[in-house]
Structure 1
C-alpha cells in the first residue's frame, strides 16, 4: 500500500470515528435541549470548544495566511448557521424525520461539487448516493410532512453539504489545527448572536447537563472538527460525505445499546445500505478514472 493510500485510509477511519462520536450525542442532545433553549445550548457548547482550541492552537492560527483566516470565517458561519437551523428544526419535528432530512447532505454534496467546482462525479457515486438515501430513509423515516421544521432542517443539510465542499477545497493538512480553531471561534460567535434576542445565553441547569455539554463541546465539537478538517485535506468531498452518512447507523446503535430504542429490520437493512454505499465509494477502482477527484486536486487555487 502506498503512502497516499495509507493516508487516505487513515483519513477515512478518522471520519468514521468522528461520525461515531456524533452518533453518540443524539440521546444527550435530546435531554439537554428539553431543559434549555436551543441557541443557549449551542452557544455554551461552542464557546467552551472555542476557548479550549484557542488555548491549545493559537500559534497555529497566527501562522495562517489572511486568505485562510477569511476562509475559516466563511466555514464557521456556514457550519454555525447549519447547527442552529438543524437544532431549531428538531424542536419542531420528530427526531426520525430530522435524521433523514439532515442526512440529505449526502445528496447535496455531489450536486454542489458539480455546480460549484465543475467536478465530474463518477456514476458509481450517484449509485452510492441513491443507496445511502434509501438507507437513511429506512433508518429514520416514520411519516413525513413538509412543515417549517422540515424546511429548516433541509436548509441545514444544504449548508452542511456546502461546508463539506468548501472544507475539502480549502483545507490543508498542515493548517488543520489553525483552520479548525478559527471555525470554532466563529461558530461560537454565530451561536452567541442567536441568543441576543433573549438577553444572552443561560447556563446548563444541572451537573448532568454540564457533563453532556462538555462532552459535546470537547469531543463531538472541537475534537470532531479537528479530525474532519485534517481528514478532508486528504479525501474528495463526495467520498467524505458518503463516509459521514454512517452517523445515523451509529446513532441507532447507541440508541439500542442505551435502551432508548429497539433493534428493528429497518435498522439492519438501512444500516447495511449506508455501509454498502460507503464501501462502493471507498473501494471503487481509481486507476484510469478521470472522474475520481484525488485528494491533492482539491487544493488548486481559485
Structure 2
C-alpha cells in the first residue's frame, strides 16, 4: 500500500509539473508575434538585454529568500545555462526578423528530437516505443507546419533552426541541475547571463537605430516578467518532477500556441496542412503524457 501511495503521489506531481510546463509553453508561444513586432522598433540584442535585466531584477526577492542555498557551484550552473539560453534567444530573435512568427515557433519545436537523443547518449537507453511514436508524431507535425510548398526553408528559418540546438541543450541541462539546486538561483543565474551577453553584443556589434516606442516597451515588459522571470522559474522548479524528454514534448506544443496567437494578433492563417501538423504535434504530446503517466503509476517491486 505504501508503494502504491508513493506511486500515486509521484504521478500527481508529474501531472502538475507537466500542466505547469504546458502553461509556460502557451506563454512562450504567445510571445513570438509580440517579439517580431517589437524588434521592428528595437534591435534584437538591446531588446534581449533590457528584457532579461528586468526579469533578473524581479527574481532578486526570490533569490534573497533562498540565500542560504547560494554557492559558487549553483551560480556557475545558472550562468552556464544562461549561455545556452542566450544562444537560443539570440538566434531566434534575429531569425524572427526574416521569417513568420508561426514558422519560428514550428522550427524551435524541433528540440523534441534533440533532447531524447541527448538523454539516450548519456543514459545508454532508448525511449520506449510509445514515447518514440509520440516523438515521431511531433516531428511529422512540425515538418507539415514549417516546410513551404517547395519543401524548403528561407534564410530566417535556418537562423531559427540554430536556436533549436541551444534550447535542447538548455532543457537537457536544466533536467540534470534542477533536482539538486535552488530553482530561484538557477533561474536568476541564467537570466543574468543572457542580459550580460546581450549587453556585450549590443556594444561590440553594429546596431540599427533604437526606437523606444510604446509597443517596444509593451513587448519588453510582457516578455520580461510572465515569459522570462516567472516562466523560467516555473520551468526550473517543475523539471524536478518530470523528464527532459517529457519537457521537450510539452514544449513542442509551442508552435501550436504560436500559430494560435499569430492568428489572433496578426491575422496569420494556417493552411489545411498546417492544421494537420498542429494536430500531429498535440497527438504526440498527449500519447507521450499518457504513457508516461502509466509508467509512473506502476509501483516498483
Give 1:236 shift: 0.7
Gaps of 5+ in 1: 295-302
Moved more, 49-58 or 104-113: 49-58
Which residue in 2 is equivalent to 1:260? 267
5 Å matches for 1:151-300? Answer: 151-172=158-179, 175-198=182-205, 205-258=212-265, 260-262=267-269, 264-284=271-291, 285-286=294-295
Work out whether residues 39 and 201 of structure 1, in 8 Å CA contact, stay in contact via their aligned partners in 2.
no
Question: Is 2:21 the partner of 1:6?
Answer: no
1:99-143: per-residue Cα shift (whole Å, max 9, x none)? 333221111111111123434322222221111011122233325
| TM-score scaled by length of structure 2 | 0.87
Work out whether residues 136 and 274 of structure 1, in 8 Å CA contact, stay in contact via their aligned partners in 2.
yes
User: Could you tell me how far apart the structure 2 residues matched to 1:88 and 1:239 are?
Assistant: 28
Cα 1:142/1:283, change in 2 over 3 Å: same
Match of residue 146, structure 2, among 140, 163, 166: 140
Cα 1:227/1:269, change in 2 over 3 Å: same
User: Could you tell me how far apart the structure 1 residues matched to 2:116 and 2:23 are?
Assistant: 22
Highest RCO, 1 vs 2 (Cα 8 Å, sep ≥ 6): 2
1:207-263: per-residue Cα shift (whole Å, max 9, x none)? 222122101001111111011101111101001100111111111122223352235
Secondary structure of the corresponding residue to residue 182 of structure 2: helix
Cα 1:173/1:147, change in 2 over 3 Å: same
User: Could you tell me how far apart the structure 2 residues matched to 1:251 and 1:53 are?
Assistant: 26
Match of residue 48, structure 1, among 54, 60, 66: 54
Count of residues paired in the alignment? 290
Cα 1:96/1:207, change in 2 over 3 Å: closer
User: Could you tell me how far apart the structure 2 residues matched to 1:98 and 1:259 are?
Assistant: 15
User: Could you tell me how far apart the structure 2 residues matched to 1:152 and 1:236 are?
Assistant: 28
Work out whether residues 61 and 182 of structure 1, in 8 Å CA contact, stay in contact via their aligned partners in 2.
no
Cα 1:166/1:61, change in 2 over 3 Å: farther
1:15-41: per-residue Cα shift (whole Å, max 9, x none)? 111011011112211111112211111
Secondary structure of the corresponding residue to residue 84 of structure 1: helix
Cα 1:202/1:278, change in 2 over 3 Å: same
Give 1:58 shift: 3.1
Give 1:145 shift: 3.8
User: Could you tell me how far apart the structure 1 residues matched to 2:12 and 2:110 are?
Assistant: 29
Gaps of 5+ in 2: none
| TM-score scaled by length of structure 1 | 0.86
Cα 1:117/1:86, change in 2 over 3 Å: farther
Cα 1:56/1:73, change in 2 over 3 Å: same
Question: Is 2:116 the partner of 1:107?
Answer: no
Work out whether residues 147 and 153 of structure 2, in 8 Å CA contact, stay in contact via their aligned partners in 1.
no
Cα 1:287/1:147, change in 2 over 3 Å: closer
